[in-house]
Amino acid sequence: MNSKLEKKDNIEKSFFSIFITTFTTIFIAELGDKTQIATLMLSAESGMPIIVFLGSSLALISSSIVGVLIGKWVSKKISPSKFALFTGALMILISIFLAYETFKNYL
């Protein structure tokens, strides 16, 4: 009986841990980005903030669904360590490209 309670506690902790981590990460990443600025402008221009809120919420949910589905598919094809290596290398390449584009006029 104790193992059932421990298993339930682990599942709940895992759920809340994943939920809080996801919420915090996405909330911070979305603050002040172009999506928030576009939403602010649409709300100000239309004068209908509730409709803008509903539209932007549905758009964010839809794009999140795409990310989750692709992530689920990728997790079945590639091991987590290979995926981390690939995404890290991709970020480095993007950083090098952006740095080059920024400084090419100064070289």
pLDDT of 59 higher than 80: yes
pTM of the model: 0.61
Residue 6: per-residue pLDDT: 63
Helix boundaries (H) for the chain: 2-30, 34-46, 49-77, 80-103
The answer to whether the CB of 14 falls within 8 A of the CB of 8 is no
CA distance 59 to 38: 12
> Which residues form the domain of 28?
2-77
- Does any domain span residue 97? no
The mean pLDDT of 20-26, rounded to a whole number, is: 90
% pLDDT > 70, the chain: 89
- Does any domain span residue 101? no
pLDDT of 99 higher than 90: yes
CA distance 30 to 38: 12
Domains held by the chain: number:
1
- Does any domain span residue 86? no
